[in-house]
Amino acid sequence: MRLRVLFLCFAISLPTVAAPLPVPGQGPALRIQGSNTIGAAVGPALVKGLMEHQGLQGVHSEPGDGANEQRLVGKTRQGKTVTIEVAAHGSSTGFAALKNNRADLAAASRPIKDSELVDLESLGDLKSPEAEQVIAIDGLAIILNPRNPLNTLNTEQLAQIFNGEVSTWEALGGIGGVIHLYARDDQSGTYDTFKELVLSRRGKPLAGTAQRFESSEALSDAVSHDPQGIGFIGLPYVRQAKAVAIVDGDSQPMLPLTSLIATEDYPLSRRLFFYLPPSSRNPWAKALVDFTQGSQGQAIVAANGFIAQQVQAISVAPRPSMPDDYQALAHDAQRLTVNFRFEEGSASLDNKARQDLQRVVAYIRSHGKLDKQVTLVGFGDAKNDPQRAALLSKLRAMAVRRELVKSGVVPRDIRGFGAQMPVAANTADEGRIKNRRVEVWVY
């Protein structure tokens, strides 16, 4: 899909951080542990932004006590030192640190697991909208050496490659001999996401021959220097390597483009999270979450190579493979970079969708499109009865319409395209959930 971004941005305006925040008498003002993907750069950048927003002076980073750890330090106008600690050892370590009271905020590059949710029940419901905060969208890029001639792989091939079943480039129609595998370590949310999206869905473990890395940068650089290498990495860490287009099921080949990741259509897209325990009494933790969701925080997210949750209008080039009505829509309107998705087995919008509703309404209001300037387009997964699939896709669009009407938006039209134009394979629950989506188009 060829998309042209027309940079019409609007970030949600959330309440400004209360100033000034209290300065603790001793110890750090905030402790963040978890994802290396977040903690390596964007997490510290958000912390620095919050500290400067609070009026702290001379904010800088210092090495922490161990590898992949750092402290952000600044001074108040009265000369008091404020320190925030960031440790980046993998998403699992963030939840463990919450349990052991070694962290105030967990950074994760995957959703919290059911087992972790149960384990942390004493801290409150970490799946509640206030606790589970999507801060950015990331895409896992599959990277090759720049000299590798392959440009497209499907998710089934990826599972076979990283399981070791396919062990030579010639078996994929390429050249180069034995495939060398590069992967993140077991504590990494990046690895958890790849395992969930690619390996576990096909019942395959990672091959024992894979070289493992705690550092995203080191992994990417290793692949870019190895003509036989292949690895998976977060989008900001492609660096000098080559990203390939990915196919999932009957989807079109998709490169990890900003527009496709923002809508989460790209097969290996994922959400990045802060988890703030409902029981938290740390004002700096709540302030960082609010700052991150605001326009300044989302600008920092984008500046660090991730996909901000700003709403943009994009032009979609009509393709012959699209239904005629969809081609007409693409010709006349522009699509917003938001897909509304639903909780598993439910018609309820998920936590990100609830936040996105506010962003979409703010965009529509700011662009004067409240009255019949919006079309909602629903999609679903394949059903035995195509008419039922079409009906359900339209019902999902109607669920979004009800929420928009509450905010004064009167949609122009609602359309349901059933199981057409899948963005994921319908052979697994996760793919079917991804295909159950509602797009927003504006005139």
CATH number, position 150: 3.40.190.10
For residue 119, tell me if it sits in a domain.
yes
> How far is residue 162 CA from its own chain's centroid?
23
Share of the chain above pLDDT 70, in %: 94
Is residue 163's pLDDT more than 70?
yes
Q: Are residues 357 and 425 in the same domain?
A: yes
pLDDT digits (tens, 9 = 90+) for 208-259: 999 999 999 999 999 999 999 999 998 889 999 999 999 998 888 999 988 8
At residue 17, the pLDDT reads 41
Share of the chain above pLDDT 90, in %: 74
DSSP per residue, 297-330: HHHHHHHTTSB---EEEEEE---TTS-HHHHHHH
pLDDT band at 386 (very low <50, low <70, confident <90, very high): confident
pLDDT band at 11 (very low <50, low <70, confident <90, very high): very low
83 vs 235, higher pLDDT: 83
The amino acid at 275: Y
For residue 144, tell me if it sits in a domain.
yes
For residue 1, tell me if it sits in a domain.
no
Is residue 384's pLDDT more than 80?
no
Q: Are residues 96 and 211 in the same domain?
A: no
Number of domains in the chain: 3
At residue 436, the pLDDT reads 87
At residue 375, the pLDDT reads 98
At residue 179, the pLDDT reads 98
User: How many Cα atoms sit within 13 Å of 252 on the Cβ side?
Assistant: 13
Segment 144-160 shows an average pLDDT of 96
For residue 3, tell me if it sits in a domain.
no
295 vs 6, higher pLDDT: 295
Could you list the residue range(s) of the whole structural domain that residue 405 is in? 318-442
pLDDT band at 377 (very low <50, low <70, confident <90, very high): very high
Q: Are residues 191 and 278 in the same domain?
A: no
Q: Is 409 helix (H, G, I), strand (E, B) or coil?
A: coil
Q: Are residues 41 and 148 in the same domain?
A: no
Q: Are residues 115 and 231 in the same domain?
A: no
Segment 409-434 shows an average pLDDT of 87
Q: Are residues 18 and 116 in the same domain?
A: yes
pLDDT digits (tens, 9 = 90+) for 123-143: 999 999 999 999 999 889 999
At residue 6, the pLDDT reads 36
Q: Are residues 238 and 326 in the same domain?
A: no
pLDDT digits (tens, 9 = 90+) for 179-190: 999 999 988 888
Q: Which secondary structure element, helix H or strand E, spans residue 285, and what is its range?
A: helix 283-293
For residue 376, tell me if it sits in a domain.
yes
For residue 263, tell me if it sits in a domain.
no
* pTM (predicted TM-score): 0.80
Q: Which two tokens stand for residue 353?
A: 């969708």
For residue 268, tell me if it sits in a domain.
no
pLDDT digits (tens, 9 = 90+) for 20-51: 899 998 999 999 999 998 998 999 999 999 99
pLDDT band at 119 (very low <50, low <70, confident <90, very high): very high
Q: Is 28 helix (H, G, I), strand (E, B) or coil?
A: coil
Average pLDDT of the chain, as a whole number: 91
Q: Are residues 123 and 163 in the same domain?
A: no
Cα Rg of the chain, angstroms: 22
For residue 265, tell me if it sits in a domain.
no
Q: Are residues 235 and 284 in the same domain?
A: no
pLDDT band at 7 (very low <50, low <70, confident <90, very high): very low
At residue 345, the pLDDT reads 55
pLDDT digits (tens, 9 = 90+) for 317-338: 998 989 999 999 999 999 999 9
Find the CATH number of the domain harbouring 341.
3.30.1330.60
Q: Which two tokens stand for residue 139?
A: 């895409």
E strand residue ranges, 29-163: 30-34, 57-63, 69-75, 81-88, 105-108, 132-144, 152-154
Q: Are residues 127 and 159 in the same domain?
A: no
Is residue 1's pLDDT more than 90?
no
Q: Are residues 98 and 155 in the same domain?
A: no
Is residue 105's pLDDT more than 70?
yes
Is residue 383's pLDDT more than 80?
no
pLDDT band at 286 (very low <50, low <70, confident <90, very high): very high
Report CA-CA distances (Å) from 406 to 358, 400, 401, 403, 410: 11, 10, 9, 5, 9
At residue 19, the pLDDT reads 62
pLDDT digits (tens, 9 = 90+) for 342-366: 766 566 788 888 889 999 999 999 9
At residue 372, the pLDDT reads 95
Report CA-CA distances (Å) from 30 to 22, 53, 55, 72, 151: 11, 16, 17, 10, 44
Q: Are residues 127 and 154 in the same domain?
A: no
At residue 51, the pLDDT reads 98
